[in-house]
Structure 1
């Protein structure tokens, strides 16, 4: 939905008219995880303090399975159920373009009483919240490797990068790829290839430094490792440890011992550097392909 600037007031009045159906309405910038407008007693009004969108759910970090980022990227409307410590919300996210800037309108309906009855049903309520949290995690988890998926990259990377830029912290990204993976599939079969992908992902994840770091499968045999707060030397060292561990490891499938190598592209930001997440991914990926062009089984950064 594309709008002219003067149509914003019309949009706001239309949304405000829907308040009897929704407990909360707001307009967010999902890339930077900021609330732009939210409804008050006088309708939707600009938010001056640019609060983080996930604060509504009493969270300190961005939501896993952020449907507003999905709506933003896919230009479609989405619905999900989100939980806070004591409430359950049904959230509808609708992408809108205003003056060339894409934002997302979020509608919230409190469905706590519909899903968690009363104190007598506390255990059922806790179980419901656990199941909802599991469902949201499953939506951003790669089924084969059990690390995060591409959707998580597109949702989490912008949030982590924005925070690093705001706090002037270093930031590192690694893109990793298994060398000659097609030959592995052709020689040993696709089931062997699947097993190698699982073990490869586990090596990347286990080599990370702390809980702030995360690993995701970008697609095929290509993976992304995000290291917030890590400087260039640290990120290069982590990538080199990953490369060495893959080269040393013997992968086993159906009685067969399989060895392989991998290539890595690294891009790191120093404090004060400014870049958007798409450019960051592109530059790390360019370094990966430089590793492949110059012989594979190496780290370029």
Structure 2
């Protein structure tokens, strides 16, 4: 990898520095700041998320969006110093990709959603809720398809580059159409929310994650997990569904799931190919009698 040299981009960066309060360049895989000009609290060599007082990557990480779609992107973030508009674009330098973040303090705006910027706590909460809505499924509260598209390619890339295991499982509810037909769509929504809560209770907090892929399908991402761990997670979810069957109008609804999965490790597969294998294994599980799992068949 060719080393990053600021002097090769000085003319480009000087133009941005005249427009924005702060300009920084981030290495998107390691999330490290390799250049910063402007705010003295942004430290070169630090993690890009430290300025926002986070301990890990932002859920609405701009580098994920840029990596997936190769477009410019933007967001609003807050900390105790104020509210900031961040615009970002990717650049190719040598054989490597970097992210240029252009940051403008917009705390001078008098009102945002009826809240004055003098009360930054309320502004931070407002922006946090707005950012969360972009990546969370409204019904179940887990991540949505947008988050999958932004985060999963990066997780896969990291696992491959660092020779780490990344287990990807897709599950859906057996006979979900029949549940809707028999009990109605409100009952179907209850089943989806119940399943989402169970999944979240059976994975590691702030380490693994779950998202609603669409309809009654969910994706579960387990880091550094082998087939034994994945099978245990699926069994725990199935057992919890049996023990805590959702009730609708006083009647227990029997709910079972089927799952398909795949482990990313040293293999160099693209995300579309991986998801195709996961979906194929899910279909094999459904054809095998449902309420079962087919994991990691290539």
Q: TM-score range by the shorter chain?
A: 0.7 to 0.9
Give the drift of 1:114: 4.7
1:152 corresponding residue in structure 2: 147
Deviates more, 1:103-112 or 1:17-26: 103-112
Measured in 1, the distance between the counterparts of 2:225 and 2:259 equals: 17
TM superposition shift of 1:74: 4.7
CA contact (8 A) 1:264 1:287 kept: yes
- In structure 2, how many angstroms separate the alpha carbons of the residues matched to 1:200 and 1:110? 41
Question: Aligned in 2, Cα 1:99/1:297: closer, same or farther, shift over 3 Å?
Answer: farther
Cα separation, partners in 2 of 1:151 and 1:85, compared to 1, 3 Å: farther
The number of equivalent residue pairs is 280
Q: Deviations over 1:52-74 (max 9, x none)?
A: 54345353321112244335545
Which residue pairs with 1:21 in the alignment? 19
TM-score normalised by length of structure 1: 0.76
Cα deviation for residue 26 of structure 1 reads 4.6
CA contact (8 A) 1:266 1:288 kept: yes
Q: Name the counterpart of 2:281.
A: 287
1:217 offset after TM fit, Å? Answer: 0.6
Aligned to 1:182: 177
* Correspondent of 1:250 among 245, 253, 274: 245
**Match 1:132 to one of 106, 110, 127:** 127
Rounded Cα–Cα distance in structure 2 between residues aligned with 1:175 and 1:163: 20
1:120-168 Cα shifts (integer Å, max 9, x gaps) = x998112222222222122211100111111222233344445545554
CA–CA distance in structure 2, aligned partners of residues 61 and 282 of structure 1: 30
- What is residue 54 of structure 2 aligned with on the other side? 59
TM-score, reference length from structure 2:
0.76
- Change beyond 3 A, Cα 1:84–1:165: farther
Q: CA deviation at 1:296?
A: 1.5
Q: How does 1:1-301 map to 2 (within 5 A)?
A: 13-14=11-12, 16-26=14-24, 30=28, 32=29, 34=31, 38=35, 52-74=47-69, 76-84=71-79, 86-94=81-89, 105-112=100-107, 114=109, 124-165=119-160, 168-269=163-264, 277-301=271-295
The Cα RMSD (Å) is: 3.6
Query: Partners of 1:93 and 1:60 in 2: how far apart?
Result: 21
